[in-house]
Protein backbone atom coordinates (compact mmCIF):
# COMPACT_ATOMS: atom_id res chain seq x y z
CA UNK A 1 0.00 0.00 0.00
CA UNK A 2 0.98 3.63 -0.44
CA UNK A 3 -0.10 6.63 1.65
CA UNK A 4 -0.20 10.30 0.69
CA UNK A 5 -0.43 12.81 3.54
CA UNK A 6 -1.19 16.42 2.70
CA UNK A 7 -1.53 19.46 4.95
CA UNK A 8 -3.67 22.31 3.66
CA UNK A 9 -4.47 25.80 4.88
CA UNK A 10 -8.16 26.59 4.60
CA UNK A 11 -8.92 29.87 2.88
CA UNK A 12 -10.65 32.35 5.22
CA UNK A 13 -14.10 31.90 3.67
CA UNK A 14 -13.91 28.10 4.14
CA UNK A 15 -12.99 28.31 7.84
CA UNK A 16 -16.52 29.22 8.87
CA UNK A 17 -18.24 26.09 10.27
CA UNK A 18 -21.07 26.10 7.72
CA UNK A 19 -18.75 26.79 4.80
CA UNK A 20 -16.39 24.07 6.02
CA UNK A 21 -19.21 21.50 6.24
CA UNK A 22 -20.32 22.43 2.72
CA UNK A 23 -16.77 22.13 1.41
CA UNK A 24 -16.34 18.68 3.01
CA UNK A 25 -19.69 17.51 1.66
CA UNK A 26 -18.98 18.77 -1.87
CA UNK A 27 -15.47 17.33 -1.82
CA UNK A 28 -16.72 13.91 -0.75
CA UNK A 29 -19.38 13.96 -3.46
CA UNK A 30 -17.25 15.34 -6.32
CA UNK A 31 -13.58 14.60 -5.64
CA UNK A 32 -13.70 11.23 -3.87
CA UNK A 33 -15.12 9.46 -6.96
CA UNK A 34 -12.23 10.82 -9.07
CA UNK A 35 -9.75 9.53 -6.51
CA UNK A 36 -11.48 6.15 -6.28
CA UNK A 37 -11.46 5.82 -10.07
CA UNK A 38 -7.68 6.25 -9.82
CA UNK A 39 -7.15 3.55 -7.21
CA UNK A 40 -7.75 5.26 -3.87
CA UNK A 41 -8.74 2.72 -1.21
CA UNK A 42 -9.55 5.09 1.64
CA UNK A 43 -9.22 8.69 2.77
CA UNK A 44 -9.32 10.42 6.15
CA UNK A 45 -9.77 14.14 6.78
CA UNK A 46 -8.49 15.60 10.04
CA UNK A 47 -9.02 19.23 11.03
CA UNK A 48 -5.88 19.93 13.05
CA UNK A 49 -6.54 23.66 13.58
CA UNK A 50 -9.29 26.13 12.66
CA UNK A 51 -7.40 26.94 9.46
CA UNK A 52 -5.56 23.65 8.76
CA UNK A 53 -6.71 20.25 7.53
CA UNK A 54 -4.80 17.06 6.85
CA UNK A 55 -5.79 14.43 4.31
CA UNK A 56 -4.49 10.87 4.56
CA UNK A 57 -5.14 9.01 1.31
CA UNK A 58 -4.44 5.29 0.94
CA UNK A 59 -3.74 3.65 -2.44
CA UNK A 60 -2.67 0.22 -3.66
CA UNK A 61 0.60 1.67 -4.93
CA UNK A 62 2.47 4.86 -5.78
CA UNK A 63 1.41 4.73 -9.43
CA UNK A 64 -2.25 5.01 -8.43
CA UNK A 65 -1.39 7.82 -6.01
CA UNK A 66 0.31 9.87 -8.73
CA UNK A 67 -2.49 9.16 -11.20
CA UNK A 68 -5.06 10.37 -8.67
CA UNK A 69 -3.07 13.53 -7.98
CA UNK A 70 -2.90 14.44 -11.66
CA UNK A 71 -6.56 13.64 -12.30
CA UNK A 72 -7.81 15.77 -9.41
CA UNK A 73 -5.49 18.65 -10.31
CA UNK A 74 -6.68 18.60 -13.91
CA UNK A 75 -10.38 18.27 -13.13
CA UNK A 76 -10.79 20.09 -9.82
CA UNK A 77 -7.76 22.36 -9.41
CA UNK A 78 -9.74 25.58 -9.74
CA UNK A 79 -12.35 24.42 -7.23
CA UNK A 80 -9.73 23.37 -4.70
CA UNK A 81 -7.77 26.61 -5.10
CA UNK A 82 -10.87 28.51 -3.92
CA UNK A 83 -10.81 26.61 -0.62
CA UNK A 84 -7.29 25.38 0.10
CA UNK A 85 -3.61 26.24 -0.09
CA UNK A 86 -1.14 23.35 0.00
CA UNK A 87 1.29 23.48 2.93
CA UNK A 88 3.03 20.13 2.55
CA UNK A 89 2.72 16.79 0.72
CA UNK A 90 4.51 13.61 1.75
CA UNK A 91 4.07 10.03 0.64
CA UNK A 92 5.49 6.60 1.20
CA UNK A 93 4.87 2.93 1.69
CA UNK A 94 2.12 2.15 4.18
CA UNK A 95 1.49 -0.94 6.29
CA UNK A 96 -1.96 -1.90 7.56
CA UNK A 97 -0.97 -2.89 11.10
CA UNK A 98 -4.47 -4.07 12.06
CA UNK A 99 -4.60 -6.42 9.06
CA UNK A 100 -1.11 -7.66 9.96
CA UNK A 101 -2.17 -8.36 13.56
CA UNK A 102 -5.41 -10.02 12.41
CA UNK A 103 -3.49 -12.22 9.96
CA UNK A 104 -0.99 -13.24 12.62
CA UNK A 105 -3.77 -14.08 15.09
CA UNK A 106 -5.55 -16.28 12.56
CA UNK A 107 -2.51 -18.54 12.10
CA UNK A 108 -2.83 -21.59 14.37
Top-level class of domain 2-105: alpha beta
Each residue's pLDDT tens digit, 9-45? 999 999 999 999 999 999 999 999 999 999 999 999 9
Q: How far apart are CA 99 and CA 108, in angstroms?
A: 16
pTM exceeds cut of 0.95: no
Q: Where are the domains of the chain?
A: 2-105
Closest CA to 36 of 7, 65, 5: 65
Cα distance between the two ends of the chain: 26
Amino acid sequence: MHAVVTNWRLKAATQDPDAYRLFVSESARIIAPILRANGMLDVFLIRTAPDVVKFVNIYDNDIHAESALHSVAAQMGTYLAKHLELIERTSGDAIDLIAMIDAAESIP
